[in-house]
């Protein structure tokens, strides 16, 4: 149960109690109906913890050549870009799951595309909740999305920041990021991730191209060197 659903139930319960208090003595059928509904609400509220966190919700918005009037996007470009972004988040999720204890294995079906937005045009993503979210902390999807946002923020910034942040991610994650940026450059698009009230991304295709080149340079071994990516980035 989400926080919004819980608040809706509490509001309905309060309204029913007010209506119940205002019933006349002979309105016994209405009284039975109201009392039955209040019991149902109480059972639903009791089945979920009060501090149940909201599922992850994020928006990946696009701009540039493939976007038409901020209300639509060329299907091939949109599908490729979203596919690469979801693979990037999944790669981050797999990496986190392999390092953390007590977390479930990353399940690709945990992240759903649930809708679109316009002005700017983008896709809405939401965490799939099979049962309930872990009450003791962030879900794996929340952690993966937060780390992905941090990674995008780094590569969109200056080179020193990029090297420092990217060095903390596996080569597989870095490669998935490179693929995502390559798709954006190839289609003349820019992208912005909106998550937790923060907008992170690129303002121009030139900025995306610059970030892609920087990332590619970091991935390429120096001439005559077989030094791993992590070692070169932290050097």
95-104: per-residue pLDDT in tens? 888 876 655 5
Residue-level pLDDT at 222: 46
Query: Mean pLDDT over residues 131-155, rounded?
Result: 80
User: What separation in angstroms does the CA of 92 have from each of 4, 72, 95?
Assistant: 29, 28, 5
Asked if pLDDT for residue 235 goes beyond 80, the answer is no
Residue-level pLDDT at 71: 86
pLDDT digits (tens, 9 = 90+) for 86-97: 999 999 998 888
pLDDT digits (tens, 9 = 90+) for 168-198: 889 999 999 999 999 999 999 999 999 999 9
Asked if pLDDT for residue 135 goes beyond 60, the answer is no
Reported as a pLDDT band with limits 50, 70 and 90, residue 228 is very low
Residue-level pLDDT at 207: 95
The residue among 128 and 30 whose pLDDT is bigger is 30
Of the candidates 74, 142, 68, 161, the one whose C-alpha atom is nearest the C-alpha of residue 103 is 142
User: What separation in angstroms does the CA of 129 have from each of 57, 100, 133?
Assistant: 12, 20, 7
Query: Is the Cα torsion angle 12, 14, 20, 23 positive or negative in sign?
Result: negative
Residue-level pLDDT at 231: 38
Q: Token pair of 64, please?
A: 């540039």
Asked if residues 154 and 168 have their Cβ atoms less than 8 Å apart, the reply is no
> Whose structure tokens read 């870095």?
174
Average pLDDT, the chain: 83
Residue-level pLDDT at 1: 52
Residue-level pLDDT at 145: 95
């Amino acid at each position: 149960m989400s926080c919004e659903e819980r608040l809706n139930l509490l509001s309905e319960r309060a309204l029913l109690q007010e209506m119940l208090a205002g019933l006349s003595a002979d309105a016994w059928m209405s009284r039975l109906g109201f009392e039955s509904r209040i019991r149902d609400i109480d059972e639903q509220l009791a089945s979920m913890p009060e501090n149940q966190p909201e599922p992850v919700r994020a928006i990946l918005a696009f701009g540039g050549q493939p976007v038409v009037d901020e209300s639509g996007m060329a299907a091939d470009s949109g599908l490729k870009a979203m596919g690469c972004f979801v693979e990037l988040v999944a790669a981050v999720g797999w990496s986190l799951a392999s390092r953390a204890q007590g977390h479930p294995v990353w399940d690709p079906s945990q992240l759903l595309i649930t809708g679109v937005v316009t002005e700017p045009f983008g896709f809405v993503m939401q965490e799939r909740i099979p049962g309930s979210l872990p009450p003791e902390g962030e879900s794996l999807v929340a952690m993966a999305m937060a780390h992905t946002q941090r990674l995008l923020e780094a590569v969109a910034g200056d080179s020193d920041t990029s090297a420092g942040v990217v060095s903390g991610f596996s080569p597989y994650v870095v490669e998935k990021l490179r693929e995502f940026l390559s798709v954006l450059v190839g289609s003349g698009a820019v992208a912005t991730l909106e998550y937790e009230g923060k907008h992170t991304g690129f303002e121009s295709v030139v900025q995306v191209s610059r970030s892609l080149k920087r990332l590619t340079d970091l991935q390429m071994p120096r001439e005559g060197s077989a030094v791993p990516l992590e070692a070169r980035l932290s050097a």
